[in-house]
A and B are shown apart, each in its own frame.
Chain A
């Protein structure tokens, strides 16, 4: 019979794999999607390090069992931070696209050579 543990473990792995693949694409938007997938998986992973507990929320009324509350608290923090960073990176991607005229992560459309880029590389902002 299939165990919950198996489902969770494999699920985490699967999402991480999808996340990594998208992360390695060449377009900023896709990269951001990959990052948020990675984020989801990591959150569940942290949570899972408190092991799986069904029907045991850590609301301390009556006698247990109670799920391990610490990883849950950590995940909450992680979620918030993840939210903040996602919000930031997507708008950075947007701005970069606008400034560089492309949302290719290196600012070079394939085929176009890196000349102007090297030009820009030298005198930042001056």
Chain B
């Protein structure tokens, strides 16, 4: 509430107290005979007091409501901050998992390539073009077509 940001809360409580005080005084005004001119202001004092009570009551409620909302906002800010920390922690866990799995995949690939260089390479001459079991061009085409990215 912007009005509560401009003015301190005690002003509205003071307005409420002043209103109650003014209303009480307006009813006791007949007993204040030592101030004779005061009686003619009875009605304006009552109207002013009523307005002051209305404003004071409304703003007291507004202050209470504002305080409740500020507490809620503070609670939410703390939760959001905690969630951001938790989010970063989860990201670290995910990255660690990705790095570990990727390393396993790379190591396994390197091991298999070593195996190929050691064992499969023995059959290269057998499957060479013009050799005993030549690899058909259709086989290579099928592999390359499968490796083609979708367009």
Q: Do A and B bind each other?
A: no
